């Protein structure tokens, strides 16, 4: 009796699951999809070429240093970089003295040795980049209730992350005049509005983003190498820098891959010749019914 009840219960669960699957599939196939502004006017990131692209790509260290400068002078006012240490800047071509000087130019959390109270102090090479806010509550209060995300892994957390960051930084538009393939947003969705505290950006998933345009004018930073600091150039440089922060071993991984592929190819050829050498003297047994050679 117990076995029969168990079988019936199992069949009941199976029937319910199948019924839910059939109803869901039928609803998906027959329900009319209502177009939304987010679906129709969210655009893919614009393609850009970087020196680290491709199987033979390498870092452009001057570009990474320029990107770090953009982050320091523009992005660090709101965004943290908590997974990157000042000592990691040596990988960008900075000398030990320059790394120490850069670290000392930042204020990091510390403790007053006399009173024991929380304070700030100049950074050292062993410190990590500090957050601009003491906690998420303070960050939200300063940014229209939106907590600015940490940028350490941003290009790994977004599809086409490097191009996404670059496109987002340069993608702020006027929703009243924005169009895709000749179709204007306001003509297709006349009720679409950007709230006063938000900003229209078609590269952002829901079109309205809390972050104000961070790059507002050419020459916002002054590059030491003389590169013209246009908005496009600054966005390209900082997106390359954030690609390095997200995966500093990117180029090393590519360079390691080629010897590994070469070894695997050599091992495959060696195994094939070994197989031919070992089994060459062994003749297959004739089976009954085989035609004589």
Binding residues: 75, 78-79, 211
Q: How far is CA 82 from the centre of its chain?
A: 15
Quick one: which of 200, 199, 202 has its CA closest to 180? 202
Angle CA 251–242–238, to nearest 5: 115
Of 175, 168, 200, the residue nearest 189 (C-alpha)? 175
In sequence order, the β-bridge partners of residue 108 are 121
- Structure tokens, 34: 């209502």
**Cβ atoms of residues 111 and 117 within 8 Å:** yes
List C-alpha distances in Å: 260 to 58, 195, 252, 269: 18, 53, 12, 14
d(CA 214, CA 172): 10
Q: For residue 201, what is the DSSP state?
A: -
Q: How many CA atoms lie within 13 A of 185 on its CB side?
A: 23
Residues contributing to the annotated binding site for heme c: 75, 78-79, 211
């Amino acid at each position: 009796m117990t076995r029969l009840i168990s079988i019936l219960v199992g069949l009941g669960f199976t029937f319910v699951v199948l019924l839910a699957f059939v109803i869901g599939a039928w609803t998906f196939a027959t329900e009319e999809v209502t177009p939304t502004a987010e679906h129709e006017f969210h655009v893919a990131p614009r393609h850009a070429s970087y020196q680290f692209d491709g199987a033979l790509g390498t870092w452009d260290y001057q570009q990474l240093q320029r990107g770090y400068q953009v982050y320091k002078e523009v992005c660090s006012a709101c965004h943290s970089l908590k997974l990157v240490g000042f000592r990691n800047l040596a990988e960008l071509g900075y000398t030990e003295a320059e790394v120490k000087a850069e670290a000392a130019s930042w204020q990091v959390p510390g403790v007053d040795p006399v009173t024991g109270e929380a304070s700030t102090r100049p950074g050292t090479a062993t410190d990590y980049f500090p957050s601009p806010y003491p906690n998420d509550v303070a960050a939200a209060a300063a940014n229209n209730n939106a907590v600015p995300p940490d940028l350490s892994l941003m290009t790994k957390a977004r599809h086409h992350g490097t191009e996404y960051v670059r496109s987002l930084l340069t993608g702020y538009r006027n929703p009243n005049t924005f169009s895709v393939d000749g179709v204007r947003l306001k003509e297709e969705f006349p009720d679409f509005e950007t709230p006063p505290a938000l900003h229209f950006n078609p590269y952002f998933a829901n079109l309205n983003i809390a972050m104000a345009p961070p790059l507002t004018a050419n020459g916002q930073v002054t590059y030491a190498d003389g590169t013209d600091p246009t908005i496009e150039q600054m966005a390209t440089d900082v997106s390359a820098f954030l690609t390095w922060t997200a995966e500093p071993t990117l180029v090393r991984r590519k360079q390691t891959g080629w010897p590994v592929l070469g070894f695997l190819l050599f091992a495959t050829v060696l195994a094939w010749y070994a197989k031919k050498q070992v089994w060459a003297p062994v003749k297959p047994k004739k089976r009954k019914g085989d035609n004589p050679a």
